[in-house]
Amino acid sequence: MGLLDHPCTATATLATAFVLAASAIPASASAPPAPARPLSFSSATSSASSSTVLPGCGEHSTLRQALRTLTEDHHLAGAAVEVTDPVCGRWSDAAGTADLGTGRPMNAQDRLRAGSVTKTFTATVVLQLAAEHRIDPDASVAHYLPGLIDGNGYDGRKITVRELLQHTSGLPDHLDAPEWEHPERLRYRHFEPRELIDQALSLPHPGASAGSGFHYATTNYLVAGLLVQQVTGRSAESEITRRILRPLGLRDTYWPGDDPRLRGPHSRSYHLPEQGAALVDGTDWNMTFGGTGGALVSSPADLERFFDALLSGRLLPPDRLSEMKHTVAADPDRLWPGARYGLGLISSPLPCGGLWWGHAGTVPGGHRALGAVGPGGRRVAVAVNQVPSTEQAEEDFREVVRAALCEGRGPETARPTDGKIVEESA
């Protein structure tokens, strides 16, 4: 998995990497020597006239430099970004290489594995069903799935649907199990959700009881997927396709099932099995271990469209979107400082004021995706095909997001929060 090193335990590395875009990395870690790679940039045509730069639109030099930092200073194979602004239009840039075998340049149109961004799709459908009065977010998991969570001190009668979506259920992550210390050994294996949930329930308690604290666990979203299936009579994958992918025309977004290959134009993905080792191509991977918590394939453009539709209120009524944006403080070891978690949504502060809302995801082979919407409706999607291997590289990945959303915006005073719960509008 282009694994991120967890600051506490070796067994947590896969779960942390699969979380999202950043976990703490020992500062002493160093990037491996990298072969020479072509550097390329491409810019989509903006809706503004090329001869007239609208106020706040600019030439995107800060964003371009942020991408170059990832590929030139940190030696990531490739990085790409697509940005859309209601005033400035759309632009995309890329640096590095999509395929080290052929030398094909990275671009912002290729598909990639979206990892934990999948969680936002799943949470959206759960909240759509809540709006239809078919799911009560404050009802227990056992109300819908009796007996699923029962044993080793875990009790589905004491865990609510809301706590699943917010990672406050107290459930452990199946990816913390010892066998996931070497995920490449499981690369082509099929997993069933109940098998993975049972694996999680055999693990020690992560230290947080239901409702008492944040503990990120993909297991929560496997349970949420089974909940959707129980309520609708159809798989969560088919419901997400029917309710989100098709109506929004997300043609690059699909469920790979057991097929380890990626369909259509895509970047290859690369990871380091261990520090000092050579890069390994991790593109082909059976993603059933992620399921409704991490299996989706997508593209930057599709992720932009999805988060724009979600945060502009086209997928949920206002009260349910507001629920989605009630956040709790996230563990900075599994997200990053300042990040907060709602119901399948992350909020993160911007240096130019306000917050971005979205999600990110990292998968074993090395793909990382992030989709977000910032103040004023500007949206960004970032794709890399190799996971950063140092703390500074992680920080510089986040700098791409900040540059994309803050270019052309002066410093502002961020709106205050009460220190516990945030409810903001993108």
How would you write the pLDDT of the chain (426 residues) with one tens digit per residue? Answer: 222 222 232 233 455 555 543 333 333 333 333 333 333 333 333 333 333 445 567 778 999 999 999 999 999 999 999 999 999 899 999 999 999 999 999 999 999 999 999 999 999 999 999 999 999 999 999 999 999 999 999 999 999 999 999 999 999 999 999 999 889 999 999 999 999 999 999 999 987 667 668 999 999 999 999 999 999 999 999 999 999 999 999 999 999 999 999 999 999 999 987 777 889 999 999 999 999 999 999 999 999 999 999 999 999 999 999 999 999 999 888 889 999 999 999 999 999 999 999 999 999 999 999 999 999 999 999 999 999 988 999 999 999 999 999 988 765 433 333 333 344 433
- Would you tell me how many other CB atoms lie within 10 Å of the CB of residue 146? 13
Question: What pLDDT does 351 receive?
Answer: 95
Using only C-alpha atoms, the chain has a radius of gyration, in whole angstroms, of 20
Report yes or no: 79 and 107 within 8 Å, Cβ to Cβ: no
Cα 167 from Cα 150, distance rounded (Å): 18
C-alpha torsion angle, residues 292, 349, 112, 114 (rounded to 10): 0
Residues 6+ away with beta carbon under 8 Å from 314: none
Backbone angles phi, psi at 423, to 5 degrees: -130, 105
Indicate which residue of 92, 116, 169, 389 is catalytic. Answer: 116
Strand, coil or helix: what is 426?
A: coil
Cα 23 from Cα 278, distance rounded (Å): 22
Write down the pTM of the prediction.
0.87
Closest CA to 240 of 334, 118, 324, 336: 118
Read off the tokens for 130: 């809540």
Question: What pLDDT does 276 receive?
Answer: 76
Question: What pLDDT does 408 receive?
Answer: 82
**Sheet bearing 89-99, strands edge to edge:** 104-105, 89-99, 78-85, 379-384, 368-373, 355-362, 346-349, 340-341, 328-329
Question: What pLDDT does 278 receive?
Answer: 87
Report yes or no: 221 and 293 within 8 Å, Cβ to Cβ: yes
Residues 6+ away with beta carbon under 8 Å from 326: 342, 343, 421, 422, 423
Strand, coil or helix: what is 245?
A: helix
Question: What pLDDT does 93 receive?
Answer: 95
Catalytic residue status for 212: no
Read off the tokens for 342: 């709602």
Cα 408 from Cα 32, distance rounded (Å): 35
CA atoms 210, 215, 217, 220: torsion sign: positive
Question: What pLDDT does 144 receive?
Answer: 98
Tell me 111's DSSP state: B
CB-neighbour burial class of residue 237 (10 A; exposed 0-12, middle 13-18, buried 19+): buried
Question: What pLDDT does 372 receive?
Answer: 98
Question: What pLDDT does 56 receive?
Answer: 62
Question: What pLDDT does 1 receive?
Answer: 28
- Would you tell me how many other CB atoms lie within 10 Å of the CB of residue 400? 25
